[in-house]
Structure 1
Amino acid sequence: MTSPDLVRVLTVLLEAGAERVPAEDLAWAPDMTPALNHAISMQYVIRKRTAHGTRFSLSESGYTALGLEPPRHMTVSRFIRSLFRR
């Protein structure tokens, strides 16, 4: 079971596009910070800092926490990454 605050954070990201969403495009309220930090620490959300700013994406476990099936391309990329890990 996922807390309502966490679901709210994941839903905002999903509705904004779910992948590589610029931080400024997300309608996260300041009171959502603890839930966002929890989502990042639980690896539901991936935060990537780039030269163009911070981007957020839902991970496979983020989709699962929302009760959704992750996109097929995520499964392929996970398999390819696993080939290069020891």
Structure 2
Amino acid sequence: ERMMDVEQKLRLVKRLLQDKVNQLKEQLSKNTKADAMVKDLYVENAQLLKALEMTEQRQRTAERKNYLLEEKIANLNRIVKNLASPSF
């Protein structure tokens, strides 16, 4: 009878261990998927940062060109004003 009790406890422990193994396998699978997602997000983030950097550079270039155009317009307006004013 004691042997049966030990065998029954052993089966119970085996079942509990198998449940734990299954749980750990499932967790490993989830962790593997999460790791892949983190890597994908890291790559995507790097690409977005590069795109942002390029966009900011284009904006700075556009602002410089805009400033130069505004200076040219101001100079042309002065020239037109000088040409239009009667010279005595």
- Whether these two folds match at TM > 0.5 is no
Larger radius of gyration: 2
More strand by share: 1
Flag the structure with more relative contact order, 1 or 2, with Cα contacts below 8 A and sequence separation at least 6. 1
Calculate the TM-score normalised by the size of structure 2. 0.18
Identify, as 1 or 2, the structure richer in helix: 2
